[in-house]
Amino acid sequence: MPNPNQGSVAIYPGSFDPITYGHLDLIERGSRLFNRLIVAILSNDAKEPLFSVTERREMLAQSVKAYPNVEVDSFNGLLVDYASQRGATALLRGIRAISDYEYELQMALMNRRLRPDIETVFLMAGEAYSFVSSRLVKQVIGLGGNISGLVPPLVEARLRDRLLGEKQAR
């Protein structure tokens, strides 16, 4: 049950492998909509992320320092259970294209069925970032492309070390 003294709390879940400026755009906007925004990294053993949860938490924490009402955390299990445990009444999700909406609508309806007291709030991706995804950023830098302006400099440096460092070692 949410604590009425803490104001509105929202969860912005994702893998954030790695965080992009598209994510940061949603975090900045979400931080204005809610009293508290928890950026929650899903710990999913079925996926093979490039960065560990600890590394992603570090990059996120550095990237959101400017927002005092934003917290970084991680979870596993059902998102709505985690949200309920954290006292959140909203889930923040970004939509880049119609294909995102179809998937996100399914998830939102299932979450509503599981926890009707938790709303899903959709924000449209900022125009400048509507094409950016973590997967695409990893592909481009892995092939030697320029990703400046798509991810924070600290993330770009880590990507270069992880992806290009491995290639140079071969």
The catalytic residue among 31, 63, 84, 134 is 134
72, β-bridge pairs: 39
The catalytic residue among 23, 36, 56, 158 is 23
Matching residue, tokens 């939102």: 108
- Strand ranges of the sheet holding 70-75, from the earlier edge strand across to the other edge: 70-75, 36-42, 9-14, 90-95, 119-124
The catalytic residue among 86, 96, 112, 162 is 96
Dist. CA 74–CA 124, nearest whole Å:
24
Active site residue 23: yes
Active site residue 148: no
Contact 80, 118 (CB under 8 A): yes
Active site residue 36: no
Contact 60, 116 (CB under 8 A): no
Q: Which residues are catalytic?
A: 23, 47, 96, 134
